[in-house]
Structure 1
């Protein structure tokens, strides 16, 4: 029902005033090209039916997102996102539910998603959106009042989800956005200095983490080991799978399909009894496997 409501809100606008949305359509060439490529992957997919359904969903979402971007302001988008995130997190909290992570032995909150990483994603998105709204789009003190419950709920949900990916990526994203914001008020000369210093600091931090054992300390804080609880093995398997079909891939959403030998083996190795909802825990590897080097680049 929610998906149909999503389409009902945005798709009709395309037919009401199509000239508005087709004007300067070339500015959105990248997502449109990717959507077309995803649709074409049906012709070489190892599971054409699955790819066709996923391609329609992806393309329709791109269209809705494009219509929304041409219709509402960034501030309105942020406000709507915050309200939606708050509702989703509240619903997830009401549903409850904890699950044992077989890989690291921890018990984590999975809520309505059945996944700690999904809960962590929405929680971290809530925190980031609150900060973005307060810094860039707040008009008066009421902004603090109505975003405070969303911020508190997001922080709480992030804490009980124990999603290391979300916890680690959130400060990185905030840092990058902060640097980009600072660069806007600096001259081109100082922007270059900021970039060089930032890039150099990042390289030094990575080298120190790898050579001084800091990486293991950081991973230990999140209950991870050097294999990232099996993720490095998954990445290796994904890379090997990509080598079998390097240019075009297996087809969009066509790798993790029941009945095929490799995904069945990985589901068994990682104790995924449902044999669904699994991935390589790496967006680039997942993309490379599904739509090949052409699609990933």
Structure 2
């Protein structure tokens, strides 16, 4: 059976199929080619709009707690906005939000979060932040319509590996690397964020190493990425990332063992990965707790205690998107360090229930695809969602417009609304 998420391995059976395949591929690539031709102009127009509307700080400001240069943030925001506007203009398809339970749940969540402006303590602030959140969502949807899961996984891997390499170069050039017990790899962002990125790289390389049939040179590369990413996760001292990675490996292994098409190398991969992760966790634990660091796993209760009181005041509908944080004085903490607590603050129990429904329906579709012979990239998407569900218990890794939310939105959007190409989560097996 041919893996569904490796389109390069699919063989056409006759000339007419080959011609349809070429036309489909050309139709897919046209928006990208045209998009890059107007990308710079769109970004400039977005920058002009931001300046004219007196949002200069939003354009060039650096996120609180980030030690990277402002130029990186500026380029990233301009690129995201420009890419979004370009693809929205060029992409011709507008699928209905009621075509499946998953798309209906996504549409319901979007409408409900938008309605949060009505009960937000500061409607103008919430509306402005909703624009940023909507930008991430639309960008993810457009990416999912242009690329399939195989290409999205490649994109995630390249971006995260590049980000970690640039962070390491920045750390070395600034002289921050020191051989001491409390050293944490930070690079151009927070150490916990680097731990998240490295753990995702470990998931991608691990699933491809033990579930795909790539060449020997690629397998060596995946071995290096797997070992290196686990090592990077260890030196970030992010207990949340390591525990979540171990949990995702165990969950996905248990699921794969119940599927007839599971690879014979899966038990070996689970053993190697779990042993390496357990060793890394033990190494970090032996270093001792990070007292006084509110971003550490052991100090979460200091943040959570007052936030639970705020949730109990508005348990059903919350305070609107980021509405709670308007009244909080500027300081070191600007999120709940828990996705689920952030969701309760933003939209109450209704928002939390809708998000869990979306993730549950996405997992169900991915499991169906896996049972019908989908390959390593579909399994990674399944492991990726399981990892984020666990990781969100003690980190705001995908409740805010950050790279984790963008990647998760790309996967969910691709599963919910298949593009014109043959998708890797199709419920029918390849022939």
TM-score by length of 2: 0.51
Structure 2 gap segments, 5+ residues each: 1-74, 262-281, 291-295, 354-431
| CA offsets 1:153-188 (integer angstroms, 9 cap, x no match) | 4233212110010011101011111222222228xx
Q: Which runs of 4+ in 1 moved over 6 A?
A: none
Deviation at 1:122, TM superposition (A): 0.6
2:156 maps to which residue? 81
User: When the two structures are aligned, how many residues end up with a matched partner?
Assistant: 246
1:247 maps to which residue? 316
2:382 maps to which residue? none
CA distance in 2 between counterparts of 1:280 and 1:223 reads: 24
Q: Verify the 8 A CA contact 1:82 1:150 in the aligned structure 2.
A: no
Q: 1:235 aligns with which of 296, 304, 309?
A: 304
Deviation at 1:11, TM superposition (A): 4.9
Change beyond 3 A, Cα 1:55–1:167: same
CA distance in 2 between counterparts of 1:56 and 1:82 reads: 27
Q: Verify the 8 A CA contact 1:117 1:163 in the aligned structure 2.
A: yes
Q: 1:22 aligns with which of 84, 95, 109?
A: 95
Q: 2:250 aligns with which of 175, 189, 196?
A: 175
Change beyond 3 A, Cα 1:89–1:133: same
Q: Verify the 8 A CA contact 1:10 1:68 in the aligned structure 2.
A: no
Change beyond 3 A, Cα 1:134–1:6: farther
Deviation at 1:130, TM superposition (A): 1.1
Q: Higher relative contact order by CA 8 Å / sep ≥ 6: 1 or 2? A: 2
Deviation at 1:106, TM superposition (A): 4.3
CA distance in 2 between counterparts of 1:9 and 1:134 reads: 32
Deviation at 1:38, TM superposition (A): 1.9
Change beyond 3 A, Cα 1:47–1:288: same
Instruction: State yes or no: 1:111 paired with 2:180.
Output: no
SS at match of 1:229: helix
1:90-169 correspondence runs (5 A)? 90-96=165-171, 106-113=182-189, 115-169=190-244
Q: Verify the 8 A CA contact 1:242 1:288 in the aligned structure 2.
A: yes
Instruction: State yes or no: 1:223 paired with 2:288.
Output: yes
Cα RMSD, aligned residues only? 3.1
| CA offsets 1:259-281 (integer angstroms, 9 cap, x no match) | x3xx33xxxxxxxxx61553222
